Amino acid sequence: MNILILGSGGREYVFTEKIAESVECEKLFVAPGNAGTAQLAQNINLSLSDFKGIAEFSLKNHVEMIVVGPEAPLVEGIRDYFESDNTLQHIQIIGPGKAGAELEGSKEFAKNFMHRHNIPTAAYSSFDKATLSEGLSYLKTLKPPYVLKADGLAGGKGVVICENLQTAGQSLTQMLKGEKFGAASEKVVIEEFLSGIELSVFVLTDGENYKILPAAKDYKRIGEGDTGLNTGGMGAISPVKFADSTFMDKVESKIIKPTVEGLKKDKIDYQGFIFIGLMNVGGEPFVIEYNVRMGDPETQVVLPRLKSDLLSIFKSMKNKKLNQEDFEISNQTASTVVLVAGGYPESYEKGKVIKGIEDVENAKVFHAGTAQKNNEVITAGGRVLAITGMGDNLEIALKNAYAGANKVCWDDIYYRKDIGQDLLALE
Ligand code: AMP
Ligand code: GLY
């Protein structure tokens, strides 16, 4: 079958590589893709918000499945667009419709969903401009630090954590007045601060059945020791040792099952990934957030551990037969290190020539912000490459990833040298 993958990051590169391995894959397209996906598939210059263009391309090229990488097209309703047109209905979309994507598109919707279905999460209340003074009073009932979340999509940057009541009040006022995050913070969720260790759990569901993918931990801050600005993610590890079977059993019974059941009860036919950001608070899992897609760079450590055929798994979801699929997970540890352009996540330069990719041994090079220029691969984004190492334990996986990372260079390359060190210290 012919498949179209939407997106251009490391996550989409991994999807491309995994799907290209499948015997059932005929033509594989990626829009817009990067220099790496161009080597495995055909890159197509399409905008992810141009549903009409995506539909026309798909019909013309007999695409039967579209795998949606990032959240924006899902929140904007790409699935609904295809389902509502009978010339497009035969094309399977991997990713939920607009109603399901609200789990990521609106923090208030997600919190109300969890509340309705008794899913453990931090206590919360939400406010808009008209209820600003109630919001300020609510803050006084909480203990510091204060967690404020813009309701809408804010590129992963919509969460503000304030150390004292005064700055929390100021931030709430700015957010509700649209001075921070624009329309995304017309509503703000204020929630109780949870103290614990974070991890991410990934679920794939066809709306009826679900499969749990390996858990992962990502490293969001730019600086070593988890300091500095938040980024899209600077590295990731899978599995996460502290997520042992006792903990994961709780995650399944208290969070995953009620989430999938809750979607059914709410008549939301959800087909796609659910990425659950969790806090382990003294051995009990609490949901911090839902995303309606895979994580980046978590995909770079989760999918290399999946031994089964991803395309066959996706295909089975069309007829709600996910339960009949093999889902074999490798026991190996995977670690990824993200190589970024100097200056990221603030301003950075593009167009630097990348050297050494072909010298990487015992590790996988996943392209993200790369482009091809003449015969060279150049930087074209903030997060440029992710290098994934595998091994029988975390130490070996990290050794392989860093040996690979050390082979690659360009002017102004930066990466964290401490990925996984906190987990090694726990072992
Ligand atoms: P989110 O965009 O919801 O994932 O939030 C970004 C980050 O803020 C999370 O990865 C956590 O580190 C932190 N965070 C969010 N909510 C809470 C909370 N209730 N308590 C403590 N930290 C939080
Ligand atoms: N790495 C976090 C995310 O994909 O949202």
pLDDT digits (tens, 9 = 90+) for 287-319: 999 999 999 999 999 999 999 999 999 999 999
Helix (H) or strand (E) holding 51: helix 51-60
pLDDT at 322 over 90: yes
- What's the CA-to-centroid distance between 404 and ligand 1, angstroms? 31
Banded pLDDT at 178 (limits 50, 70, 90): confident
Atom 6 of ligand 1: nearest residue by CA position: 159
The response to whether residue 277 sits with its C-beta less than 6 Å from ligand 2 reads no
pLDDT of residue 279: 96
Sequential DSSP letters for 330-360: -SSEEEEEEEEETTTTS-----PBPB-GGG-
The response to whether residue 289 sits with its C-beta less than 6 Å from ligand 2 reads no
Which atom of ligand 1 is nearest to 107's Cα? 3
Q: 75: closest CA among 293, 240, 238, 224?
A: 293
Contacts for 245 with CB less than 8 Å, ≥ 6 apart:
none
Mean pLDDT of the chain, nearest integer? 96
3-state secondary structure of 191: strand
Sign of CA dihedral 232, 352, 11, 239: negative
- What's the CA-to-centroid distance between 364 and ligand 1, angstroms? 30
Give pTM, 2 decimals.
0.96
pLDDT of residue 155: 79
- What's the CA-to-centroid distance between 295 and ligand 2, angstroms? 4
Range in 63-77, 103-117, 169-183 the model is least confident about: 169-183
For residues 222 and 383, what is the distance between their CA atoms, to the nearest angstrom?
Answer: 11
Q: Answer left, alpha or beta for residue 357, where phi above 0 means left and psi between -120 and 50 means alpha.
A: alpha
Structural domains of the chain, with CATH: 2-95 (3.40.50.20), 124-191 (3.30.1490.20), 197-426 (3.30.470.20)
- What's the CA-to-centroid distance between 370 and ligand 2, angstroms? 19
Q: What percent of the chain has pLDDT over 90?
A: 96
Write out pLDDT tens, residues 53-89.
Answer: 999 999 999 999 999 999 999 999 999 999 999 999 9
Q: What percent of the chain has pLDDT over 70?
A: 100
- What's the CA-to-centroid distance between 288 and ligand 1, angstroms? 6
Bridge pairing between strands 221-223 and 217-218? unpaired
pLDDT of residue 353: 98
State mean pLDDT over 84-102.
98
Q: 215: closest CA among 300, 298, 310, 326?
A: 298
For residues 217 and 180, what is the distance between their CA atoms, to the nearest angstrom?
Answer: 28
Range in 87-101, 177-191, 345-359 the model is least confident about: 177-191
For residues 268 and 119, what is the distance between their CA atoms, to the nearest angstrom?
Answer: 17
Q: Which ligand is nearest to the CA of 295?
A: 2
**CB count in 10 Å sphere of residue 253:** 11
pLDDT at 237 over 90: yes
E strands in 213-309: 217-218, 221-223, 227-230, 235-238, 272-281, 284-291
Residues facing 287 on adjacent strands: 121, 278
pLDDT at 156 over 80: no
pLDDT of residue 180: 87
pLDDT at 107 over 80: yes
| Two tokens, residue 66 | 């579209």
Atom 15 of ligand 1: nearest residue by CA position: 288
Write out pLDDT tens, residues 2-39.
Answer: 999 999 999 999 999 999 999 999 999 999 999 999 99
pLDDT of residue 179: 83
State mean pLDDT over 420-425.
94
pLDDT of residue 42: 98
